Structure formats: C-alpha cells, structure tokens
Amino acid sequence: MTCHYRHCLPPGFVFKKKIKNLDQIEDVIELEEILEEQKRKLDFSKGTPITLELFTAWKKKKTEQRAKEKEEKKKMEIKKGTLKGMSGRALFDYDAT
C-alpha cells in the first residue's frame, strides 16, 4: 500500500529513516534547502511589504467590519422576527418603543 500523501513531498526527497547507508544522506536533498530555494524564487516586488503598523490597521479595520456585519445581521433578524433568545433588556436597548 502506498501513502496517499506522497504527492506532497518534492521530487527526489527521501526520508532519512529509509536510507540504509550513511553515505547516501549527503546525496539526499534536504526539505529545508528546497523551501529556501522556493522562497528565493518568489517575487516580493509585486506585493506590499507587511509592517506592524499595516497589520494593526488591517486588523482594526477587519474587526470593525465584522462587528458591523454582525450588527446588520442582528437588525435584519429582528426586522424579520426570526431572532430567538433576545432578552427584554437587549430588546429595550435596541428599540425603546
């Protein structure tokens, strides 16, 4: 039986456990070397470099967007009458009439 995850390994990669002769270890391409080679091939000039400031601004914007979407969804459920489990206080806070 062959492993169905075999396609994930790079071509020519051999596990160290399966190598019997210690001289063959040097001939085997290390996975880390392959990853470093792939990273060198990437072109980073196309994207925006991520900094802490950019990440925190994106995170804040995304959090606000999710909260807004959640509130809109809640309003639509209230409008349709499908919201279940809303307490009296929450209903009063939403609409005091």
Confidence at residue 59, expressed as pLDDT on a 0 to 100 scale: 96
Both tokens assigned to 1? 């039986």
Confidence at residue 48, expressed as pLDDT on a 0 to 100 scale: 79
Confidence at residue 39, expressed as pLDDT on a 0 to 100 scale: 84
Confidence at residue 5, expressed as pLDDT on a 0 to 100 scale: 62
**Coil, strand or helix: which one is 55?**
helix
- Residues in the chain with pLDDT values less than 70: 1-29, 81-86
Confidence at residue 20, expressed as pLDDT on a 0 to 100 scale: 60
Segment holding 43, helix H or strand E: none
Place of tokens 């307490």: 87
Confidence at residue 97, expressed as pLDDT on a 0 to 100 scale: 77
Instruction: Give whole-number Cα distances, 73 to 3, 53, 60, in Å.
Output: 45, 30, 20
